[in-house]
């Protein structure tokens, strides 16, 4: 099956300042810039932030094609959204809404393009550790994120491949030809993942928890 990890932003190796910046700093920058454009909702501010994000991507050695690749898939939705906002609220509001979305997505994409997947997962696990007192399990949380990161590109790729195959057979308008293979592939992938986890003893209850659950109450 063809790889579709680029839709989410696969890591691009490099030695730029953006690549070597601490994860907490990059994550904070994404949050602050996103909050800035979404909070102020001013065209001038959005354009400045968008220019800064684009400049950061170019300085990091990322080509424009790599940075902007997913926007081709987003274009139809953004056009419909922009057209509705233009009709309902005017051209400036439509431009702000569309550019805000592009800016936030691009900022988040730079984070994934310049940070390895393992580093991102380790950062998420570390962020979850303070919540142990609430019963959170950081390691299990990291495993869940890892499975999600691996599964989404596979399922997206499955949907694209099925669509292409149906189109080649002249069945692009058939819901059954488009949906059934995707569902079958998703179920098969889930079963294979579950069997792999079970073979490694993952996803099972802790032995102590199992023993406690099976213990009979004292009379």
Q: Count of CB atoms within 10 A of residue 44's CB?
A: 9
> How many domains does the chain fold into?
2
Do 109 and 135 have their domain in common? Answer: no
Residue 219: predicted pLDDT: 44
123, part of any domain: no
Whether the pLDDT of residue 178 is over 50: the answer is yes
Give pLDDT, residue 189.
79
pLDDT at 99: 94
Please indicate, yes or no, if residue 213 is contained in any of the structural domains: no
Mean pLDDT of the chain: 80
User: Which range (38-47, 99-108, 115-124, 154-163) has the least confidence?
Assistant: 154-163
Whether the pLDDT of residue 88 is over 50: the answer is: yes
Q: Are residues 77 and 29 in the same domain?
A: yes
One domain for residues 108 and 137: no
pLDDT at 2: 47
**Ramachandran region, residue 97 (left: φ > 0; alpha: ψ -120 to 50; beta: rest):** alpha
171 shares a domain with 98: no
Tokens found for residue 99: 């550019």
List, for residues 122-151, the tens digit of each pLDDT value: 887 887 788 788 777 777 767 776 666 667
Measured distance CA(102)–CA(122) in Å, rounded: 27
Query: Contact at 8 Å (CB) between 128 and 141?
Result: yes
Contact (Cβ atoms closer than 8 angstroms) between residue 175 and residue 166: no
168 and 78 in one domain?
A: no
In the predicted structure, residue 4 carries a pLDDT above the cut 80: no
Tell which residue, 115, 121, 206, 190, has the closest CA to residue 155: 190
Q: Do 43 and 14 reside in the same domain of the chain?
A: yes
Is the predicted pLDDT of residue 210 greater than 50, yes or no? no
Long-range contacts, stretch 137-143, CB < 8 angstroms, 24+ apart: 143/202
The answer to whether residues 81 and 171 belong to one domain is no
CB burial of residue 65 (10 Å; 0-12, 13-18, 19+): exposed
End-to-end CA distance of the chain: 59
Domain match, 41 and 108 both? yes
Do 143 and 195 share a structural domain?
A: yes
Higher per-residue confidence, 65 vs 39: 39
Q: Which domain holds residue 166?
A: 131-203
Considering the domain architecture, whether residues 94 and 176 belong to the same structural domain is answered as no
Residues 138 and 76 in one domain: no
Mean pLDDT confidence for 81-94: 93
Per-residue pLDDT tens for 157-174?
777 788 888 888 888 778
């Amino acid at each position: 099956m063809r790889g579709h990890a680029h839709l989410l932003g696969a890591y691009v190796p490099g030695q730029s300042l953006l690549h070597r910046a601490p994860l907490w700093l990059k994550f904070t920058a994404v949050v602050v810039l996103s909050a800035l454009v979404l909070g102020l909702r001013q065209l001038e501010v959005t354009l400045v932030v968008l220019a800064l994000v684009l400049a950061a991507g170019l300085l990091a050695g990322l080509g424009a094609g790599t940075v902007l690749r997913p926007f081709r898939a987003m274009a139809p939705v953004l056009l419909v959204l922009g057209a509705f906002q233009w009709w309902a609220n005017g051209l400036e509001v439509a431009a702000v809404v569309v550019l805000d979305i592009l800016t936030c997505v691009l900022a988040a994409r730079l984070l994934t393009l310049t940070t390895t997947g393992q580093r991102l997962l380790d950062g998420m696990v570390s962020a979850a550790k303070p919540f142990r007192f609430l019963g959170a399990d950081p390691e299990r949380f990291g495993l869940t994120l890892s499975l999600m990161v691996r599964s989404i590109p596979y399922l997206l790729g499955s949907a694209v491949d099925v669509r292409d195959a149906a189109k080649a057979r002249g069945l692009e308008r058939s819901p059954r030809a488009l949906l059934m293979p995707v569902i079958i592939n998703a179920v098969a992938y889930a079963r294979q993942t579950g069997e792999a986890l079970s073979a490694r003893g993952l996803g099972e209850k802790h032995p102590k928890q199992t023993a406690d659950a099976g213990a009979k109450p004292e009379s």
